[in-house]
Amino acid sequence: MLHPGTGHGAALLLLAAGCAAASIPRTVSDDPSLSSLEVGHVRLHFRTSGDPNNPTVLVLHGGPGGDHRSLLPLEALADQYHVVFYDQRGSGLSERVGEDRLKLADFYAELDAVVDHFSRGRTVSLIGHSWGAMLASGYVGQHPEKIDHVVLAEPGMLSVETGRILMAATNRMRPAVSFGLIWAGTRVWFESLDVDGLDEEARHDYRANALMTARVAGHPMAGYYCGRDLSTARMETWRFGARANAALFREGFDKEGDPRVEFITGVEQFRRKVLFLAGSCNTVIGEAQQRRHMRYFPNAELEVIEGAGHTMFGEKPAESLAAVRRYLGAPN
């Protein structure tokens, strides 16, 4: 037990005194000013841009548990397309739900309902980033008839095979234990004590996001970014969904961290061209991993965004958007 009179206790008191007040936004359940849409009895935070008469492009964020804030550079596509962003259930600013409603099947059903809501009876195009690209791939295998174009921007894994490669390269997504990690964790815990007056998950969401983005030595995702420097990432987020993240990881990986789900079932039915994007700096799930993923699709191409890491739409928006426009504008 630590006491204020000991060196460690004094350090903790100084740490607590120096922590800034933590803030975290309300979800659509508590903030009526947010745009929301009810899908499957869950209220989702969403945003649209562009003429609804134009072809619809649906953007799927990463995580699991993230939100669409870091993907807003894609809103520039609204000059030619009807662009739809939404935060998935239990994620971002969307409604929080119990773990029994956070199964992979729930996310597929939700995406299908969103597609049907915005498609107006036409095919839509999907742009998925990271986990969102994994979700998009799995959905295309289930509903190839509903999809026109598909952009898969650095899905971490699409199969058990590529999942094992991902886990091996990231120490099974576990950070190396270090003083910096312990210090960061302690600081985040103290900061989260000021997160109150919101829903019951607010503190957990704050802690999860702060620890995932902490710039500490041995971070499992350091290799995702240029120079292994997380400060080059563009991971702007409103709010993380800790429960959604944990639930999907528990479903997708066993206790040893070995993958047990796939996102390629049925994708051989999709005969149209799929565009993969990779950042040239990403040594974990960059070009090599995406070339492995391309093999699962009958017709796929890859564009490497030079000088970009995993968050290519924020790091190199002009180059990333140009690649997306070329693909969306081509006959498919």
CATH number of the domain at 66, please: 3.40.50.1820
- Would you say residue 241 lies in a domain? no
Distance, CA of 277 to CA of 274 (rounded, Å):
10
Q: What is the pLDDT along the chain (332 residues), one digit of tens a residue?
A: 333 333 334 333 333 334 455 678 999 999 999 999 999 999 999 999 999 999 999 999 999 999 999 999 999 999 999 999 999 999 999 999 999 999 999 999 999 999 999 999 999 999 999 999 999 999 999 999 999 999 999 999 999 999 999 999 886 666 665 556 556 666 766 676 777 657 778 888 888 787 677 665 667 788 999 999 988 999 999 999 999 999 999 999 999 889 999 999 999 999 999 999 999 999 999 999 999 999 999 999 999 999 999 999 999 999 999 999 999 998 77
- Would you say residue 122 lies in a domain? yes
**Which domain range does residue 147 map to?**
36-166+255-329
- Would you say residue 9 lies in a domain? no
- Would you say residue 103 lies in a domain? yes
Tell me the whole-structure pTM to 2 decimals: 0.90
Q: 209-244: string of b/e by CB count within 10 Å (b at 16+)?
A: bbbbebebeebbbbbbbbeeebebbbbebbbbbbbb
Distance, CA of 273 to CA of 32 (rounded, Å):
40
Q: How many domains does the chain have?
A: 1
- At position 92, the amino acid (one-letter code) is G
- Would you say residue 245 lies in a domain? no
- Would you say residue 40 lies in a domain? yes
- Would you say residue 307 lies in a domain? yes
- Would you say residue 290 lies in a domain? yes
